Amino acid sequence: MSVEQDIKILLVDDRKEDILSLEVILSTPNYKFEKATSGRDALRILLKEQDFAIILIDVQMPMLDGLETAQLIRESEKLRHIPIIFLTANIDRPNNVFKGYQAGAVDFMIKPVVPEIIKAKVAVFAELYRKSQELLAQKQSLSTLNMELEKRSEELIRSNKDLEKFAYVASHDMQEPLRTIISYIELIQRKINDDAQDVEKYMDFVVGASYRMRDLINGLLEYSRADREEKPFTQVNCNDVVKEVLANLNTSISENKAVVQAGTLPQITASYMQIQQLFQNLVSNAIKFKGNKEPQVSIAYKKIEGYHLFSIADNGIGIEQEYKERIFEIFKRLHPIGEYMGVGIGLAICKKIVERHKGKIWVESVPEKGSTFYFTISEAV
Ligand code: ADP
């Protein structure tokens, strides 16, 4: 990638006519000249601009001469890399030449300069500058690439860990109903001619465990699909979503004598199916974990900067502080099987859905008083 870029050259001479003649000699379309008529003037310019490819400086100037100016330039961290060519009429004073090299001169030219020679010298430095700029740009794009790669590999490590954990928990949790099924089937085999009553009881366990296994597998499938739904996002009216959710949960609402109220909800850009699933999981949990009171559930909404913020509050059993984050992990349940139905996938799915909508989900809760689940959905999904 070679873009023809401007080469900035600083010309420093107290004699304007000398500057002009240098400009004429060096005139090339991509050379851009800055001119200073004293050492001070040159330093003032260098305070503002540091991207010069080369400085051509007259040695004999009143006040701050070329050598002193060069010394000051060399003392500055930002400027010391800029090559300097001294222009002098004074070749017969070798002492001057020596002092010039100490001050950091790259080269000397005797006035009046030979146009061909100065042109060639400047061209070499211009090329050097171009090359170093190219290297710098390459270094920058390499380090951006490196950062990108590092980020990717961190993501990969994380997703690998998630996958490992997922596989472990999935196989671990599915062992449990499978063990129940196997042991009762074995008991049934032994009892089949003996005691019909026991057989019936064992069959119930087998059927129960099989349903549990089916729920686990379905839950797992849903979970793995939650961030992969192909359908594009559409305009979703959340009032309609909640109406549908309440209709779906009608039986559970009336069986538990639950009261669910919802404020006015917005229209958002989202996946209709997933937003419905999100509300359904949260409202059904709010009813399920009711403790000994009749469930009171309220759904509310607030617009915050860049996000829609929803909340689902209940007056149920609540959640201990230490579990507030872990309940969003897959298969995390806080109660023994049988006390509350469920396989512990609902909230993990909620989390995936919310993250797919560039939002967050969290809970605030007081044990035995109730919980409020909050989630945000980004306006810019
Ligand atoms: P499931 O409901 O199938 O057990 P979830 O992933 O939906 O799984 O919830 C995980 C756990 O979080 C539940 O087992 C329960 O212990 C706790 N939990 C979820 N919602 C509530 C709630 N509204 N009140 C109290 N605890 C809750």
Rg, Å, the chain Cα set: 39
Cα atoms in the Cβ-side hemisphere of radius 13 Å centred on 302: 6
Q: How far apart are CA 122 and CA 56, in angstroms?
A: 9
How far, in Å, from the CA of 341 to the mean position of ligand 1? 10
Find out whether 220 and 170 touch, Cβ atoms under 8 Å. Answer: yes
Contact partners, residue 43, CB within 8 Å, separation at least 6? 64, 69, 72, 73
Q: Where does a domain end: 138, 161, 189?
A: 138
DSSP 88: E
The answer to whether position 146 is within a domain reads: no
Does 236 lie in the same domain as 109?
Answer: no
Cα angle vertex 356, ends 353, 360, to 5°?
A: 75
Ligand 1 within 6 A of CB of 315: no
| Domain CATH code at residue 285 | 3.30.565.10
What SS3 state is found at 315?
coil
Alpha-carbon distance values, 320 to 290, 298, 310, 372 (Å): 15, 21, 22, 13
Amino acid identity, position 50: Q
Range of the domain at 83: 7-138
- Residue at 181 is within a domain: no
Residue 43 lies in a domain: yes
Q: Report the pLDDT value the prediction gives residue 95, as an integer from 0 to 100.
A: 62
Judge whether 244 lies within some domain: yes
Closest CA to 330 of 122, 106, 171: 171
User: Which atom of ligand 1 is nearest the CA belonging to 281?
Assistant: 7
Number of domains in the chain: 2
For residue 352, tell me if it sits in a domain. Answer: yes
Per residue in 265-304, is it b (16+ CB within 10 Å) or e — as a string?
Answer: beebbbbbebbbbbbbbbbbbbbbbbeeeebbbbbbbeee
The protein residue with its alpha carbon nearest to ligand 1, atom 11, reads 333
Residue 251 sits in the same domain as residue 130:
no
In this prediction, residue 10 carries a pLDDT of 96
Q: 238 and 378 in one domain?
A: yes
Same domain, 129 and 257: no
Query: Are 375 and 243 contained in the same domain?
Result: yes
Does any ligand 1 atom lie closer than 6 A to the CB of residue 219? no
Average pLDDT, the chain: 89
Distance (angstroms) between ligand 1 centre and the Cα of 2 equals 61
Q: Determine the distance separating the centroid of ligand 1 and the alpha carbon of 314, expressed in angstroms.
A: 12
Residues 111 and 235 in one domain: no
Best substitution site from 284, 327, 332 to test ligand 1's pocket, by max atoms within 8 Å of Cβ? Answer: 327
* 376 and 235 in a common domain: yes
**Domain boundary residue, one of 138, 168, 200:** 138
Count each helix (H run) and each strand (E run) in the chain, helices first.
Answer: 10, 12
* Pocket flag, ligand 1, residue 335 (CB < 6 Å): yes
Q: From the CA of 335, give the closest atom in ligand 1.
A: 16
Last-in-domain residue among 123, 138, 153: 138
Residue 64: give its domain's CATH number.
3.40.50.2300
- Confirm whether 290 is domain-assigned: yes
Per-residue model confidence (pLDDT) at position 249? 96
- pLDDT, one tens digit per residue, over 298-318 is 999 999 999 999 999 999 999
Q: Are residues 241 and 380 in the same domain?
A: yes
Q: Which atom of ligand 1 is nearest to the CA of 373?
A: 23
Residue 156 lies in a domain: no
Query: Same domain for 234 and 346?
Result: yes
**Ligand 1 centroid from CA 30, angstroms:** 70
The residue ranges of the chain whose pLDDT is under 50 are 1-2
Q: How long, in residues, is the chain?
A: 381
Which residues are bridge partners to 55 per DSSP? 10, 84
By most ligand atoms within 8 Å of CB, the mutation choice from 220, 260, 285 for ligand 1 is 285
User: Strands of 259-262's sheet, edge to edge?
Assistant: 259-262, 296-304, 307-313, 370-378, 361-366
Q: What are 139-194's pLDDT values in tens digits?
A: 999 999 999 999 999 888 887 877 777 777 777 888 888 888 989 988 888 887 77
350 in any annotated domain? yes
